[in-house]
Amino acid sequence: MPEASLVRKKGLVRQGRVALSIVAADALLATALLLLGLYMLWLTFIDRSFMLILPAALFISIGVLKMAKTWPVLLASIESAGASKGVLHKSVLVPVSRPETTKSLVEIACDLLEKEGTLRLINVIEVPQQLPYEYAETRKEKARELLMEASKHCESRGVRPKLEIVAARDTPRAILDLADRYQADLIVMGSSQRTVPEKVLFGNVVDRVLREAPCEVVIFSYAKALPPIRYDKILVPTSGYKHAQRALDIALHFQRMSGGLVTSLFVGSDADAEKGNIILKKAKLHAERLGSSVETLFKTGGVVDNIVDVARSGGYSLIIIGATERPSYYTFLLGSTADEIVTRAPCNVLVVRTHK
């Protein structure tokens, strides 16, 4: 890491610790004011010193109001510090099926691979039920060419991958079985934004892997007209839950590598303003604690329209969205809303589903 970047990172870490300390001190002060007010109120009834009623009421009111603002942020920050783990992986599995996605998939996989980790490039040849397995032999030469091209990209990054061609009746089942066999902790896949079947987010293969994989999954959703993946300006829509948190962690990791800009976006109604501001403040503190920085943005209105408009008007090169674990929000990022974001996005999209 360049010396200037290292100095900047250390400075941001210190800023993050200072910011968290200020929030903690504010929360403790609020608690002290509340306790002082309650003590004064107790004295009022014990000593019948009614002159203390107004100061007691004032301290209690200020304490309650400050606690309502500071404690949720403090607790959320502590929770994220405990829950967050490194974004690098020991075993990464990359199914390769389209030449136009090869370079970007390799870049993502290498960027999320530990220094001594294992990267496996696989190509699954699906054999239709009405044909014998010998059919796969007619497709192996093309599969080898695709894997060799991907391997060259890996080696240019200093990574020597393991290559494997698999014949199977069921492509998603084959990918899931390989992930289990090799104890993969990350699967990186690609899916075209412009060939999404109606009501299916990424198509049957990717959609099923996204939902059923025993490990973390990152989907690179692309359009042929767009350039390969870049990290110079990243937009992270957030809901405040674990998959969105993971999306932010990955964005911040890419930022530390490239020096780019990361923006955390919360979209909701006017009634969600307080909740949204708490989530965005938590994101800012989390970034600073990791030695990074994040801009925050709160928007009201339609989720998809706002995400697409911000990405377009802000000139973002990448959107990273997290799948949601809450059933009531199921369609937010694993259904029609994500379908719209992926289809309408003016840039490349990564969808992150952390391990359940």
Q: How far apart are the first and last CA of the chain?
A: 33
Is residue 127's pLDDT more than 90?
yes
Considering 66-75, 194-203, 248-257, 329-338, the range whose residues carry the highest mean pLDDT is 248-257
Instruction: Single out the residue of 101, 97, 93, 88 nearest to residue 348, CA to CA.
Output: 101
Q: How confident is the model at residue 146 (pLDDT cuts 50, 70, 90)?
A: very high
Is residue 202's pLDDT more than 70?
no
Distance between CA atoms of 290 and 252, rounded to whole angstroms? 8
Q: How confident is the model at residue 184 (pLDDT cuts 50, 70, 90)?
A: very high
Count of Cβ atoms closer than 10 Å to residue 105 Cβ: 25
CB proximity list for 106: less than 8 A, separation 6 or greater:
94, 150, 153, 154, 157
Tokens 């976006």 belong to 265
Instruction: Single out the residue of 264, 189, 190, 259 nearest to residue 226, CA to CA.
Output: 190
Would you call 151 helix, strand, or coil by DSSP? helix
Is residue 231's pLDDT more than 60?
yes
- Read off the pTM: 0.74
pLDDT of residue 307: 93
pLDDT of residue 203: 58
Angle between helix axes 102-111 and 242-258 (nearest 10 degrees) is 90
Is residue 165's pLDDT more than 90?
yes
pLDDT of residue 331: 43
B/e letters for 159-177, b = 16+ CB within 10 Å, e = fewer, are bebebebbbbebbbebbbe
Measured over the CA atoms of residue 328, residue 330, residue 335 and residue 341, the dihedral's sign is: positive
Q: Taking residues 202-220, report their average pLDDT.
A: 84
Distance between CA atoms of 253 and 86, rounded to whole angstroms? 9
**Is pLDDT larger for residue 164 or for residue 15?**
164
Is residue 129's pLDDT more than 70?
yes
CB proximity list for 336: less than 8 A, separation 6 or greater:
199
Task: Name the token pair of 99.
Answer: 């030449």
pLDDT in tens, 252-275: 999 988 889 999 999 988 888 988
Distance between CA atoms of 178 and 155, rounded to whole angstroms? 22
pLDDT of residue 332: 43
pLDDT of residue 95: 96
pLDDT in tens, 278-288: 999 989 888 88
Q: How confident is the model at residue 13 (pLDDT cuts 50, 70, 90)?
A: very low
Q: How confident is the model at residue 23 (pLDDT cuts 50, 70, 90)?
A: low
Distance between CA atoms of 317 and 259, rounded to whole angstroms? 14
Q: Taking residues 199-221, report their average pLDDT.
A: 79
**Is pLDDT larger for residue 27 or for residue 137?**
137
CB proximity list for 255: less than 8 A, separation 6 or greater:
231, 234, 261, 262, 292, 293
Q: Taking residues 182-191, report their average pLDDT.
A: 94
Measure the CA dihedral 147/148/150/153, to 10°. 170
pLDDT in tens, 32-44: 888 888 888 888 8
Is residue 17's pLDDT more than 60?
no
The whole-chain average pLDDT of the chain stands at: 82
**Is pLDDT larger for residue 341 or for residue 293?**
293
Distance between CA atoms of 262 and 332, rounded to whole angstroms? 21
Distance between CA atoms of 261 and 233, rounded to whole angstroms? 5
pLDDT of residue 325: 41
pLDDT of residue 158: 93
pLDDT in tens, 47-104: 776 777 888 888 888 888 877 777 766 665 554 444 345 789 999 999 999 888 899 9
Is residue 108's pLDDT more than 90?
yes
